[in-house]
């Protein structure tokens, strides 16, 4: 989709930088370090720990404020946090654990004075639960404290993220502005497909990038941000994880009930669903531990959808072209049935064709072709079995040879650092989980094999091996991953 906001991307980049800071603050508040009390959505600090403003290294005063950072490591039932001493005059420490920053918590450990850093392992915790740790330093003159919050892992791996959006069927509900979605401070996706996105009454399921999300606990918020002044009214949304709907919200389909995201008329500029609201939803509470058969099939249409979502995020950012400066890439007119097309090259390779345009002093169509080679390996020694996706033969065609050459590095990065990287991450999350759920106890993934079929689908198979003494047992099993009904497809 060619959005009219692209001509003002310099301003947009400034907004993105500001937004990144906001999201990073939200991420920190949810499961990383939070100094005193930080609202996970607004990033506003409220309240505070003691010790601030007092002479930090003078006897006769309360000790200097300590620090709690981490997590150094975490599992579904434990957190290892790091305690840092910053005072010369403390008489001891007390560590409290609570489920909220505002709660005083329960005492879980007492420590004598120490110097430097000390790690603390907290066991017996619940999966995907946020815990707040308050470290209290004290002496005869008073105390100071510091609070940090962290979350345990959920244990359910994430191999695919999607967001289904339905625009209301009311006047002026559609938008041509850019839309961004974030799930934590390290995760964001610009939504842009070759279709006409966000039109009135339109419903579509968008692929989200997996950056920063490998475990269900990494989904800390659902944040939707729109740039520009072209208002958008959202009728409903649904967050889909591994082919299963995990959260949804229906706002309504009238001008007064649909969710306006707009700078005008007192509307919100963004939409944010908090960590607690996500977890409280019935779909989230009942989300299954879905299984994936040892043979996995990825249909051609599914591959093309994933690539289109990855490229759409990549096209948001301008490209620097010598003599032209920053130019705006966007989806153009497709040369075939769609903007992304996959064809079989050999039994391990897909040939990918992309069609987009460049807006500069001259508007040009760009045709891009490259290969994606799927390689599976077997475990050798201590090196585990791996799935590799290797791009190659990146070629571009434009009306000017010098422009084609100028775009080459950008296109190679698109193929290697974006498309291959993200698809490999998605599939590896399914195929490389340790240990697979139904494999015999003590077994491990032995080999991953891949085949590209004539219908341009790609199949993946996993075998296990179990070694007991001098006996070796091999076979296939079931691993945690996407839906058993739809496997990895829509």
User: Residue 475's pLDDT is what?
Assistant: 67
Assigned domain for 25 exists: no
- Both tokens assigned to 95: 């560590």
Does one domain contain both 296 and 445? yes
Task: Put the strands of the sheet holding 222-226 in their side by side order.
Answer: 187-191, 179-184, 222-226, 270-273
Does one domain contain both 261 and 231? yes
For residue 213, the domain's CATH number is 2.60.60.20
Q: Which residues, 6+ apart, have CB-to-CB distance to 129 below 8 Å? A: 99, 151, 152
From 288, 311, 339, the end of a domain falls on 288
Does one domain contain both 445 and 311? yes
For residue 471, the domain's CATH number is 3.15.10
- The number of domains in the chain is 3
- Both tokens assigned to 262: 């707009």
Does one domain contain both 189 and 281? yes
Assigned domain for 13 exists: no
> Taking the mean position of all CA atoms in its chain, how far away is CA 117?
31
Does one domain contain both 424 and 448? yes
In tens digits, the chain (490 residues) has pLDDT values of 544 344 344 334 333 344 343 444 333 333 333 333 333 333 333 333 334 444 456 888 999 999 999 999 999 999 999 999 999 999 999 999 999 999 999 999 999 999 999 999 999 999 999 999 999 999 999 999 999 999 999 988 888 899 999 999 999 999 999 999 999 999 999 999 999 999 999 999 999 999 999 999 999 999 999 998 899 999 999 999 988 999 999 999 999 999 999 887 778 889 999 999 999 999 999 998 755 555 567 899 999 999 999 999 999 988 887 778 888 888 988 877 889 999 999 999 999 999 888 887 777 888 889 999 999 999 898 888 888 899 999 888 887 777 777 787 788 888 887 888 888 887 777 665 544 545 666 777 788 889 999 999 998 888 877 777 766 667 665 443 333 333 333 3
Structural domain including 448 reads: 292-480
Question: What Rg do the C-alpha atoms of the chain give, in angstroms?
Answer: 26
Number of alpha carbons in the 13 Å side-chain half-sphere of residue 444: 12
From 133, 151, 169, the end of a domain falls on 151
Assigned domain for 21 exists: no
Q: What is d(CA 443, CA 467) in angstroms, rounded to the nearest whole number?
A: 7
Q: What is d(CA 474, CA 462) in angstroms, rounded to the nearest whole number?
A: 11
In this prediction the pTM is: 0.79
- Both tokens assigned to 365: 């169509």
User: Residue 472's pLDDT is what?
Assistant: 66
Does one domain contain both 139 and 176? no
Is residue 43 left, alpha or beta, with left meaning phi > 0 and alpha meaning psi from -120 to 50? left
Residue 2 phi/psi, 5-degree rounding, is -90, 105
For residue 94, the domain's CATH number is 2.60.40.10
Does one domain contain both 160 and 145? no
Assigned domain for 184 exists: yes
- For the chain, the distance separating the N- and C-terminal CA atoms, rounded to the nearest angstrom, is 22
Assigned domain for 18 exists: no
Assigned domain for 486 exists: no
Strands 471-475 and 179-184: unpaired
Does one domain contain both 419 and 339? yes
User: Residue 15's pLDDT is what?
Assistant: 39
Assigned domain for 321 exists: yes
User: Residue 74's pLDDT is what?
Assistant: 95
Does one domain contain both 274 and 195? yes
From 256, 288, 320, the end of a domain falls on 288
Assigned domain for 12 exists: no
Does one domain contain both 308 and 204? no
Q: Which residues, 6+ apart, have CB-to-CB distance to 230 below 8 Å? A: 4, 5, 175, 176, 177
Number of alpha carbons in the 13 Å side-chain half-sphere of residue 95: 24
User: Residue 489's pLDDT is what?
Assistant: 35
Does one domain contain both 143 and 128? yes
Residue 156 and residue 129 in contact, taking contact as beta carbons nearer than 8 Å? no
Does one domain contain both 316 and 431? yes
């Amino acid at each position: 989709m060619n959005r009219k906001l692209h001509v003002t991307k310099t301003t947009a980049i400034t907004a993105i930088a500001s937004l990144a800071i906001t999201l990073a603050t939200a991420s920190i508040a949810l499961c990383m370090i939070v100094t005193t009390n930080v609202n996970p959505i607004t990033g506003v600090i409220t309240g505070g720990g003691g010790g601030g403003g007092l002479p930090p290294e003078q006897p006769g005063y309360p000790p200097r404020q300590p620090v709690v950072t981490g997590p150094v490591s975490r599992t579904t039932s434990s957190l290892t946090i790091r305690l840092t001493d910053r005072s010369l005059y403390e008489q001891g420490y007390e560590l409290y654990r609570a489920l909220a920053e505002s709660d005083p918590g329960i005492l879980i450990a007492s420590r004598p004075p120490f110097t430097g850093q000390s790690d603390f392992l907290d066991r017996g915790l619940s999966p995907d639960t946020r815990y707040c740790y308050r470290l209290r330093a004290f002496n005869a003159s008073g105390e100071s404290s510091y609070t940090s919050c962290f979350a345990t892992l959920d244990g359910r791996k994430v191999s695919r993220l999607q967001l289904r959006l339905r625009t209301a069927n009311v006047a002026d509900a559609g938008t041509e502005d850019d839309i961004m979605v974030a799930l934590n401070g390290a995760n964001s996706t610009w939504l842009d497909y070759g279709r006409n996105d966000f039109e009135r009454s339109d419903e579509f399921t968008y692929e989200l990038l997996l950056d920063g999300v490998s475990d269900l606990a990494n989904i800390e918020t659902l944040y939707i941000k729109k740039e520009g002044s072209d208002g958008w009214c959202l009728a409903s949304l649904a967050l889909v994880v591994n082919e299963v709907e995990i959260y949804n919200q229906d706002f309504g389909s009238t001008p007064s009930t649909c969710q306006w995201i707009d700078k005008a008329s007192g509307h919100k500029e963004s939409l944010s669903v908090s960590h607690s609201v996500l977890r409280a939803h019935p779909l989230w509470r009942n989300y299954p531990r879905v299984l994936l058969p040892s043979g996995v099939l990825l249909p051609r249409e599914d591959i093309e959808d994933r690539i289109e979502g990855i490229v759409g995020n990549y096209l948001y950012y301008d490209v620097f072209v010598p003599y032209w400066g920053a130019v705006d890439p966007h989806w153009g007119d497709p040369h075939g049935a769609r903007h992304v097309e996959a064809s079989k090259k050999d039994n391990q390779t897909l040939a990918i064709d992309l069609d987009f345009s460049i807006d500069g002093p001259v508007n040009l169509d760009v045709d891009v072709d490259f290969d994606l080679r799927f390689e599976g390996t077997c475990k050798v020694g201590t090196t585990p079995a791996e799935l590799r996706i290797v791009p190659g033969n990146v070629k571009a065609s434009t009306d000017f040879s010098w422009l084609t050459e100028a775009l080459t590095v950008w296109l190679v990065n698109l193929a290697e650092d974006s498309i291959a990287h993200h698809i490999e991450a998605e599939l590896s999350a399914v195929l490389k989980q340790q240990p697979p759920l139904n494999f015999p106890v003590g077994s491990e993934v032995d080999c991953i094999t891949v085949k590209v079929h004539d219908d341009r689908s790609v199949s993946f198979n996993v075998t296990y091996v179990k070694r007991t003494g001098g006996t070796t047992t091999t076979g296939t099993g079931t691993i945690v991953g996407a839906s058993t009904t739809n496997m990895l497809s829509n």
